[in-house]
A and B are shown apart, each in its own frame.
Chain A
Amino acid sequence: MQRFLQAFRVGAWLGWKTESNWTNPLFYILWSLLLPMSNGLIMTMMLRVLQRTGNASGADLLPYVFIGTVVYSIVALLLDSMAWAVLEDRERMGMLKYIAITPSSMYGYLWGRGFAKVSINFLAVPLTLTFGALVLDIPIRLSTINWPLLLVVSLLGLLIVTFAAQILAGVTLMIARHAGFVGQAVSGALYLFTGALFPITVLPNWMQAIARAVPLTYWLEGMRRALWVDAQNPVYNTGLNQLSTSNLLLILLGSAVAMAVISIPLQRRAEHRAKEKGLLDMNTAY
């Protein structure tokens, strides 16, 4: 544990330096706002255009879509961050082999790198949600937010995504091609299956089954319930209205444990295989 924490601290510090030292911290925070803010605004315009012209026959899904899009930006960043850390350290900086030969924990180091990226960008999420509430009239009010639920769901969700990112980093350690796209590819594909943009009931039955098997679907639902008082209104037909919040938390807890059980041995196996095959200093010109 001590080795993990030491490596985590070093990874986080290095991650912060490599991510942000191209500019000053204030500009970096503003820069990190661009992704969630743009995605939120795109969704707002898409829905508002239809409502203004009287072409939308369904319920007003803007709060559902806005919260889903903004929160999902964390998923995309985190999934991408660890896989990129492997690529950068292995090929661009050529230092992954040095981490592997020291008695430190590569697992902790990569968690640190991911944490550095997400901690700054995590600030962008509440800022964008606040912008949505104040400017776009998204019904998120400080008085109606379920704070304990928000805290628990956020922590469980971040754990799930971090373990998933760790799995992708392990895969990146072992593959030569497309490693640079693994994070983006998975986060892009999950966009369709997590109900980030639309209720999963829109999908065909077989795709709904996949969506229900993805833990992030429940994380986004949990975040909506914590932030938006009307999230469980049956009019939105999210397909998860019937699920009680306690069961949702249990699913998230179980998913976090399952992801840990998969990711920890996989990372060890990936490290071992990378050493065995001489992949730690591979250069793929990604």
Chain B
Amino acid sequence: MSVILDKHTAVEREPNPRRGKGPSAFTIFWRSVIGRAYPRVIGIQRELSWLFFDIFLPFMATMSYVLVYEAIGAPESYKGLVLVGGAMTAFWLNVLWSMAMQLYWDKEQGNLQLYMLAPTSRMAILTGMALGGLFSTTLRAAIILTGGSLIFGISYQATSWLALIGVFFLSLIALYGMGMLLSSIFLVYGRGAWQMTAALQEPVFFVSGFHFPVKALGTVVATGASVVPLTLGLDAMRQLLFPEMMQQFQFLSVGSEAAILAGLALFFGLLARWSLQRMERKSRQDGRLTERGN
């Protein structure tokens, strides 16, 4: 057995059996996830003014939509329908601006090259971004939903809270998978990424039925819009929260929507992984990873 000298004390010691092996890929993956999620979770405690900008102002915008129904004397459940949609807009905005656009921002600020140099998976960084974003966005959506329900006296007739939670998380997994995919695509974009993201914001609010049941748009549009996981997620959640009212607006059964959402989650996850590798290679070849101001 070889014997080595400690460089500080010059005393003989046994060689470290793990020397040269380092942490496993699994450990690095999860460390990266936690490392990337950390600033998003901790940041909201250190900068409390986000409460005003991220919660109070979107809350007022959601209230505006609910008040439209108040103005025309709509039943209470319709106001609840808008409120649930309004709360879920937070997730779509988070996916667009803090997932899809994030690698573009990082490129602009010079962080992207550090990610590329780090001995970790880019999927780990995106997963960390998603988990960190999910935390603050869920908090924001919950406050909007609770506050709105209290102000307008909306009550829910949830048939199964377990199914509701299941559908909610399935929708989010699929949605953030889609965010990862968009993020990899926007890696090769210049300023056009910004415009594309802006172009996806309001039209998706419309076709996905954030403020009205998606079935009202007809089967063809609703089927097309189902590529955005929140379309089916919202429909299923509304069916579980307002079963009576949603009888006339049900697009698909909750079970079918949950199954499709699970499929979308898997599809987007795998596609994002493949796309990220491909787009990263293309960006390296085209020299776009360090490009700024374009």
Measuring CB to CB, which residues of chain A are less than 8 angstroms from any residue of chain B? 22-23, 31, 34-35, 38-39, 41-43, 45-50, 52-53, 55-59, 61, 65, 92-93, 177-178, 181, 184-185, 188-189, 191-192, 196-199, 202-203, 285
Asked if B72 and A23 make an inter-chain contact with CB atoms under 8 angstroms apart, the answer reads no
| A198 close to B211 (CB less than 8 A) | no
A178–B52 Cα distance when bound, in Å, is: 10
Identify A50's interface contact among B63, B64, B72, CB under 8 A: B72
* In the complex, number of A-B residue pairs with CB atoms less than 8 Å apart: 109
Alpha-carbon distance A177/B43, docked complex (angstroms): 13
Q: Which of B137-145, B160-168, B201-209 has 4 or more CB atoms under 8 Å from chain A?
A: B201-209
**Known contacts A22-B195, A45-B217; is A202 also within 8 Å of B71 by CB?**
yes
**Closest CB of chain A to B46's CB: distance in Å?**
11
**Separation of A43 and B57 alpha carbons in the complex (Å):** 20
Which of A23, A42, A61 sits near B212, CB closer than 8 Å? A42
Bound together, the chains give a CA A199 to CA B78 distance in angstroms of 19
Residue among A43, A46, A189 with the most chain B CB within 10 A? Answer: A46
16 A-B contact pairs sorted by A residue (CB < 8 Å): A22-B191, A31-B195, A35-B202, A38-B202, A38-B203, A41-B206, A45-B206, A45-B209, A46-B69, A49-B216, A49-B249, A50-B78, A52-B216, A57-B73, A181-B53, A198-B71
- Interface check B58, CB cutoff 8 A: yes
Asked if B70 is at the interface (CB within 8 A of a chain A CB), the reply is: yes
Would you give the shortest CB distance from B96 to chain A, in whole angstroms? Answer: 14
Asked if B73 and A56 sit within 8 Å, CB to CB, the answer is: yes
User: Is the Cβ of B190 less than 8 Å from the Cβ of A58?
Assistant: no
Asked if B65 is at the interface (CB within 8 A of a chain A CB), the reply is yes
Cβ of B68 under 8 Å from chain A: yes
The listed residue (A38, A55, A199) touching B71 by CB distance below 8 A is: A199
- A270 CB to closest chain B CB (Å) equals 20
Q: How far is the CA of A173 from the CA of B206 in the complex (A)?
A: 35
Which of B60, B109, B206 neighbours the largest number of chain A CB atoms within 10 Å of its CB? B206
Using known A-B contacts A22-B190, A42-B205, A189-B60, determine if residue A58 contacts B53 with beta carbons closer than 8 Å.
no
Residues of A close to B205: CB separation below 8 A: 38, 42
A42 — which chain B residues lie within 8 A by C-beta?
A: 202, 205-206, 210-212
Task: Check B108 for interface membership: any CB of A closer than 8 A.
Answer: yes
A192 contacts across to B, CB distance below 8 A: 60-61, 63-64, 67
B211: min CB distance to chain A, Å: 5
* Other 5 A-B pairs with CB < 8 A, given A23-B192, A185-B53: A38-B202, A49-B213, A61-B68, A61-B71, A177-B47
Q: For residue A34, which residues in chain B have a CB less than 8 angstroms away from its CB?
A: 199, 202-203
Q: Within 8 Å of chain A (Cβ to Cβ): is B272?
A: no
Which of chain B's residues have a CB closer than 8 A to the CB of A93?
A: 293
> Which of B57, B65, B67, B195 makes the CB contact (< 8 A) with A202?
B67
Q: Find out whether the CB atom of B60 lies under 8 angstroms from the CB atom of A22.
A: no
Report if B95 contacts A (CB, 8 A): no
Are B82 and A46 neighbours in the complex by a CB distance under 8 Å? Answer: yes
Q: What 7 A-B pairs have minimum CB-CB distances, sorted nearest first? A: A57-B73, A38-B202, A198-B71, A58-B72, A58-B73, A56-B72, A38-B206
